[in-house]
Amino acid sequence: MKAIVMAGGKGTRLRPLTCKQPKPMVPIAGRPMVEYILTLLKQYQFAEIGMTLFYLPDLITNYFGDGREFGVNLRYFVEETPLGTAGSVKNAEAFLDETFLVISGDALTDINLAEALVFHRARGALVTIVLTKVANPLDYGVVITEEDGRIKRFLEKPGWGEVFSDTVNTGIYLIEPEIFRYYEKDKEVDFSKDLFPLLLQAGAPLYGYVAEGYWSDVGNLAQYRQANYDLLDGKLKFKPSGREVAPGVWVGEGTELPPTAQVEAPVALGRYVRIGKDAKLGKHTVIGDHSLVGEEASLKKAILWNHAYVGYQTEIRGAILAHRTHLKSGVRVYEGAVLGEGCTVGSKAVIKPEVRIWPEKYLESGSVLNSSLVWGNRWGTNLFGRQGVDKTANLEFTPEFAAKLGVAYGTILPENSWVVLGTDHFPPAQKLKAALVSGLLGTGVNVYDLGVAATPVTRQAVVALEAAAGIQLRVSPATPENILVEFFDGQGLIIDRSVERKVEQAFFAEEFRRAALDRLGRTRSVEGFSARYLENLLKVTAREEIRAAGFKAVTGVDAAEGPLGSLLTMALAALGCETVAFQAGPACSYRTVKDLREACLPALAEQVRRARADLGVLLASNGECLILVDEEGRFVAEEQFTALLSLLVLKYGGAATIPLPVTAPSFIEEVIRANRGEVVRTKASPRALMEKVAEARIYPAGDGRCSFQATYDGLYALTKILELMAREKRSLACLVAQLPTYHIDRKQVDCSWEDKGRIMRHLFEENKDKTVEVIDGLKVFHDQGWALVLPDAEEPAFQIYSEASSMEAAAELTSFYSTRINALQLR
């Protein structure tokens, strides 16, 4: 049979290892990754093999030649420009005149291909996708199938809220040649993103075969290290090259291993390796061909490629050294460090954990390297949480981090574009702002500096000033010691996940744009934009009706020194409201919103009753959060004023459709439909709701260009509540009382990241006969109400929401799913 090996990958996430090697040629236990794939294909009688090549193709063709040395016949198909996975296979269409297999050359697997082929032929499939189960499905294409294996849904690199299975696409496909009728040659087409969804929509017979056996994408440096360790541990059917001279100790031809050397299995030594006396080789050590390890050197979990030199008394712990790396005596290299090809490290130098050194660098003797040479330090895999980048001020969010973050964001923006920047009252945010600005300017991006500004003001300034993007630095609403950095697009909305990924890729790959000296960005201060925001707000508010009502409010903010106090005072004065300052005390400053409610609500309620005010108001979270109590001192829940805002825009704003997040209770839908409105449900993320609200232009601003986001703009939401009270001529308590009763519950269940995908698959399968909704997470409808199981994007946990006919029934639903999740974790 025939097979196609896709071997064109650059392996960007494996840099600096792939700066001079295509990803398929990166060695696992001394042999190129793609060599294991050829061995697998030969084992299952795929003797006629084509290889699609793009990046550094000569290194592959020179190594494998015509394939005869490896027991197969090889043909090569080289792309001049990237064509995507399906596009590259289309180049081999004339060669593929029968059922054929497509397999990635830059993954490691020992899956039984014969069993997959039997499944494919038994189903009469056009395409069979080989699937496997993984602990964390976020970085893969999730595939959902019927019981007979027929594919019913694809999810490409889902967020946790979209994870309904832990079964993912391995990139191994059995295909009939008729597939080529579905797309054109010389066009960029991807199997999983483009072609397979097209075939699914067309009703073509697409099947998924869940395979046993080992599979690793080897997509990043951690996975690369683990793949080497797994092979040494016998988790694959392959074995390292050479002779097994002792249990778990493989030695290649011509290798010298003296009796005084201490070896802890498993280890793999290539050909013509020399180990000095009294050297220590700890378990999971791999040493490539023609390498030398000096006397009394100590290696543990170290991976050395070919022609490496390790000097006297040098120590290597969990690090990777590429070809021709030279470490002199007394060097210390720690966990996670990676040295590219041709690097030289002088005597007694120290390379700290996670440091990466690009090829052909020289590190002087005695130096200590704390950050990656030229490029900078590595911080992790994810920058963004639910709302932005949230880090401990001056511990995680240091000046260096801020500058690098600014460079990463500037790199993905057009050169000479403008970014609006605002900060809140938080001193660390104001002081570290300069470092972030410097990073932006270095990429040739310009900055409008608003100074101290509320977050809703910054969002609106992005649109008004026609900027490409916006940034707000402020105290984190979740952790008062943290800085939260929010990033906005040109509409003033929180950037979507695709843009976040671009920023993360630039940040971690450290591929930054450096502007020419005459193109460095510039800054421009923008004074008084808060007044423009307030003007936009008042123009779209029923000022005269509110004035005539003569409301009295007890008002406060969570930070007296911030911009919110003056904005709130000016807005209410313009609306003719009498205000009484809330006597908050120190307990209400620098708190999370949850703590703020618990600490301040009793005092606010008491002061409202004592002053005989119409309502009590507390603005928090730099203007994004509104805390309300009615004239009787009762707290108005977020769900209730969402319902009241919906009522206002339906009755008086001309709106027809109201977006609601999937977590919002159903009673709000009752209110909307009772007022002839329609509901569109969104994902739970702030971006998803903002996007739909902006599209519907439910809350337009007075200038006709900007708009408001009532859910994330406490001052605007307050004016709309006052407007509803004035137009309806009812108190806040009366308005709330006319809303339907509702009963909701919420619970968090801790769960390891590794178990999340598997548990979501089980829950999805268990409820397939019930009415479900999969906009975000898994929402299951029961007789007494509904429950939503939502994997948390930031924490190793699930969030469970429920609504039912009684509080007891709602609690019963959350308890049922939390118990089920805990039970599934124990399997």
Statement: residue 587 has pLDDT above 80? no
What average pLDDT does range 737-745 have in this prediction? 93
> What confidence tens digit (pLDDT) does each residue in 308-336 have?
999 989 999 999 999 999 898 889 999 99
Task: Give percent of the chain above pLDDT 70.
Answer: 96
pLDDT-derived band at 590, boundaries 50, 70, 90: low
Please name the helix (run of DSSP H) or strand (run of DSSP E) that holds residue 76, with its range, or none. strand 73-78
pLDDT-derived band at 471, boundaries 50, 70, 90: very high
First to last CA, the chain: 40
Statement: residue 380 has pLDDT above 50? no
- Find out whether the peptide bond into 247 is cis, omega within 30 degrees of 0: no
Higher pLDDT: 722 or 366? It is 722
The 3-class SS string of 163-211 reads CCCCEEEEEEEEECHHHHHHCCCCCCCCHHHHHHHHHHHCCCCEEEEEC
pLDDT reported for residue 162: 57
CA gap 167, 734 in Å, rounded? 51
pLDDT reported for residue 163: 58
Which residue carries 């040295």 as its tokens? 339
Tokens of 435: 């470092």
What average pLDDT does range 798-809 have in this prediction? 94
Tokens of 191: 């199997």
Let me know: does 41 contact 103? Beta carbons within 8 Å: yes
pLDDT reported for residue 376: 36
Q: Which of 38-52, 161-175, 612-626, 797-811 has the lowest mean pLDDT?
A: 161-175
Q: Which of 3-17, 368-382, 455-469 has the lowest mean pLDDT?
A: 368-382
CA gap 443, 406 in Å, rounded? 9
Q: Which of 17-26, 139-148, 354-363, 411-420 has the lowest mean pLDDT?
A: 139-148
**The CATH number fitting domain 2-216, selected from 3.40.309.10, 3.90.550.10, 3.40.640.10, 3.40.50.300:** 3.90.550.10
* HSE toward the beta carbon, residue 236, CA cutoff 13 A: 24
CA gap 711, 732 in Å, rounded? 18
Helix (H, G, I), strand (E, B) or coil at 486: strand
Q: What is the domain class of 743-825 according to CATH?
A: alpha beta
Statement: residue 379 has pLDDT above 60? no
What average pLDDT does range 484-504 have in this prediction? 93
Task: Give percent of the chain above pLDDT 90.
Answer: 63
Domain ranges of the chain: 2-216, 240-369, 389-526, 533-737, 743-825
Query: Matching CATH topology for 389-526 and 533-737?
Result: yes
What average pLDDT does range 416-431 have in this prediction? 94
Say which residues have a Cβ less than 8 Å from residue 734's Cβ, sequence separation at least 6.
none
Say which residues have a Cβ less than 8 Å from residue 62's Cβ, sequence separation at least 6.
none
What average pLDDT does range 758-774 have in this prediction? 90
Residue 17 gets which letter from DSSP?
A: T
- Find out whether the peptide bond into 266 is cis, omega within 30 degrees of 0: yes
Please name the helix (run of DSSP H) or strand (run of DSSP E) that holds residue 469, with its range, or none. strand 469-475
Burial track 197-219 (b if 16+ CB lie within 10 A, e otherwise): bebbeeebebbbbebebbbbbbb
**The CATH number fitting domain 533-737, selected from 3.40.120.10, 3.40.50.300, 3.40.50.2300, 3.90.1150.10:** 3.40.120.10
| Region at 58 (left for phi over 0; alpha for psi -120 to 50; beta for the rest) | alpha
pLDDT reported for residue 219: 82
Domain 389-526 has CATH 3.40.120.10: yes
pLDDT-derived band at 558, boundaries 50, 70, 90: confident
Residue 64 gets which letter from DSSP?
A: H
Let me know: does 278 contact 294? Beta carbons within 8 Å: no
pLDDT reported for residue 160: 61
pLDDT reported for residue 79: 86
Say which residues have a Cβ less than 8 Å from residue 1's Cβ, sequence separation at least 6.
45, 46, 47, 48, 98, 99, 100, 101, 117
CA gap 51, 95 in Å, rounded? 11
CA gap 529, 638 in Å, rounded? 28
Q: What is the CA radius of gyration of the chain?
A: 31
pLDDT reported for residue 381: 46
What average pLDDT does range 522-538 have in this prediction? 94
* pLDDT, mean over the chain: 90
> Using CA atoms in the order 104, 108, 110, 111, what is the torsion angle rounded to 10 degrees?
-50
pLDDT reported for residue 252: 93
pLDDT-derived band at 348, boundaries 50, 70, 90: confident
What average pLDDT does range 233-259 have in this prediction? 92
Q: Which of 126-130, 537-541, 692-696, 790-794 has the lowest mean pLDDT?
A: 790-794
Statement: residue 378 has pLDDT above 70? no
CA gap 352, 376 in Å, rounded? 12
DSSP alpha helix (H) spans, 540-659: 543-549, 564-574, 593-611, 638-652
**The CATH number fitting domain 240-369, selected from 1.10.8.590, 2.160.10.10, 3.90.1150.10, 3.40.50.300:** 2.160.10.10
pLDDT reported for residue 494: 94
What average pLDDT does range 572-583 have in this prediction? 93
Tokens of 449: 């500096």
Statement: residue 338 has pLDDT above 50? yes
Q: Which of 164-178, 283-297, 732-746 has the lowest mean pLDDT?
A: 164-178
CA gap 798, 820 in Å, rounded? 12
Statement: residue 565 has pLDDT above 90? no
pLDDT reported for residue 705: 82
Which residue carries 């697009």 as its tokens? 489
Statement: residue 304 has pLDDT above 80? yes
What residues does 344 pair with on adjacent strands? 326, 362
What average pLDDT does range 81-87 have in this prediction? 87
> What confidence tens digit (pLDDT) does each residue in 628-638 have?
999 999 999 99
pLDDT reported for residue 135: 77
pTM as predicted: 0.68
